[in-house]
Amino acid sequence: MKKLISILVFTLLFFSCKNKNPNTIKTSIENNTDLIFKSNNLSFKSDLCDNENKIECATVNMNYLMATGGKTTIREKINSTIEDILANHFIIGEEKEVLNTDFKKAAQSFITDYEEYIGEEKNRGFITPYSNETECKILYESPEIICISFSNYSNTGGAHPNYFTQLINFDKTTGEQIKADQILKDRQKLSPILERQAKVKYRVEEDQSLKDIGLYYEGNIFPVNDNIGILKDSIILEYNPYEVGPYVLGGITFKIAKSEIKDLMISF
């Protein structure tokens, strides 16, 4: 009888192990463990920067992240999106200028275009240095999700430098971007929370309008944008200069606890 029980137990264990798909286990490990993000740096400097007065100069400095390891299709999908984002940091004018352009080539073009510009402007007497700097940071990462911020600062001879931050969330199991509509059910219900935080930031009285201090947006409801990042216990929304107010007021970052808006969130 004991021998019979032992045989039955062994048989069940054998088939239980056999029925587990090793490819499923391997894929899960590849997607969530082997996929890692490594820091990279790209720097370019015009030969003109060696001039004595240092005015004729163009520089590019990019600290960025790229996915390595994991499943090839997922890694390539994530990296392709990152490359597109980085290339678009060099848009000056029409977006078509860097459409489907390698971001490294776009960075090099930033330098060569400046050198051509200097050649044309020398006789006009208006010379100024150009720069373009990008910093990427992981704001949050779990086995399923990663949130990356792309911060860019550029000086291209205008009235003042420009800067912006873009928040991107990736589903690490598919490589797809997680968009705002996949995070929140009804973004407009978030508006009163953002308005309260903005009034605290700018010291606006409860019965005052944010427009009284120079913020601008259509209607009387504070807009909820698409620039949303997923953190462990909260979400953040990034508003860049000129988005809802003048440059002098700078950008606005809102941080909201998930527990406060659990009825508005789809998941995460």
| DSSP string over 19-30 | HS-HHHHHHHHI
Rounded-to-integer distance, Cα 128 and Cα 118, Å: 9
pTM of the model: 0.83
pLDDT of residue 15: 40
Do 139 and 150 contact (CB within 8 A), yes or no? no
* Residue 41: closest CA among 161, 124, 136: 136
Task: Give per-residue pLDDT as tens, 153-205.
Answer: 999 887 789 999 999 999 999 999 999 999 999 888 999 999 999 999 999 99
Domains of the chain and CATH, by start: 22-260 (3.30.565.40)
Number of H helices, E strands in the chain: 5, 8
Do 223 and 217 contact (CB within 8 A), yes or no? yes
Polymer length of the chain? 268
In this predicted structure, the answer to whether residue 17 has a pLDDT above a threshold of 60 is: no
* Residue 59: closest CA among 110, 120, 123: 110
Look up tokens 């990042």; give the residue.
229
pLDDT of residue 153: 96
Q: What angle do CA 87, 92, 96 make, to 5 degrees?
A: 65
Task: Give per-residue pLDDT as tens, 204-216.
Answer: 998 899 999 888 8
What's the average model confidence in pLDDT over 8-20? 41
Task: Give per-residue pLDDT as tens, 51-79.
Answer: 876 788 999 999 999 999 999 999 999 99
Phi-psi region of 203 (alpha: psi -120 to 50; beta: other; left: phi over 0): left
Whole-angstrom CA distances from 49 to 120, 131, 211 are 17, 11, 44
